Amino acid sequence: MAVVRVQPDLLVFAKGRASSYFPMSAVGLGNAVDQVVSHDNVDFERGLTNSEYPVRAVVALANIDVIKNWAC
């Protein structure tokens, strides 16, 4: 089995994001993309329909905690 060392610019994931209990997706940005969209002159919209929904925010924060604990 060959090992390919690749570092993606973007990582898009959805289906299992919240164990399919709640619809949620995310985009992870690499450093190069983050530098471009974080620049002062770039208007980068964050969020989509229902992004202000409080339950979604609580589920997202709990999911981030799970990912952090799993990754460490």
Tracing tokens 């990582």 back to the chain, one arrives at: 11
Beta-bridge partners for 28:
11
pLDDT score of 17 more than 70: no
Which of these, 46, 49, 50, 55, lies nearest to 18 by C-alpha position?
55
Is residue 21 a part of any domain in this protein? yes
Residue 58 inside a domain? The answer is: yes
Q: What's the burial of 48, exposed, middle or buried (CB within 10 Å: 0-12/13-18/19+)?
A: exposed
pLDDT for the residue numbered 61: 85
The whole-number pLDDT of residue 20 equals 66
User: Is residue 18 scored above 80 in pLDDT?
Assistant: no
Q: pLDDT of 19-61, one tens digit each?
A: 666 777 778 888 888 888 777 676 666 666 555 677 777 888 8
The reported pLDDT for the residue numbered 70 is: 81
Tell me the residue range of the domain where 16 lies.
10-42+50-71
Assigned domain for 2 exists: no
The count of structural domains within the chain is: 1
Mean pLDDT of all residues in 63-70: 84
Residue 4 lies in a domain: no
Rounded Cα distance, 2 and 21, in Å: 35
